[in-house]
Amino acid sequence: MRRGLVKRFWQQGIGRFSAAELAVLGTRDIEALAQLLGDKPFLMGEAPCAADAAVFAMLALLMDPATASPTRDAALAKRNLVAYRDRMMGRCFPELLKQ
């Protein structure tokens, strides 16, 4: 199973980078996303759109404590991304915030 995953990652391209290179690429992506969001509540303005669903899913997984990485640290350092994740969590899964 592991060999199959490694082969697929290599074929897809992500497996061709070192951990350090992945950290740089991930941090660049986080920087771009934080700039795109800026001070807007959602990616395209005042109301969420389909892109928000995809970005929220990625950020929620990335910011989870179980996914320790330089990219996670970069995301958590961006106040607007943390607030965005929390805003989307409250909107999509309010019952999880009550726990």
pLDDT in tens, 49-90: 999 999 999 999 999 999 899 999 999 999 999 999 999 999
pLDDT in tens, 4-46: 988 998 898 888 999 999 999 999 999 999 999 999 999 999 9
The pTM (predicted TM-score) of the whole model is 0.86
Q: DSSP string covering the chain, please?
A: -HHHHHHHHHHHSGGGS-HHHHHHHHHHHHHHHHHHHTT-SBTTBSS--HHHHHHHHHHHHHTSTTS-SHHHHHHHT-HHHHHHHHHHHHHH-HHHHT-
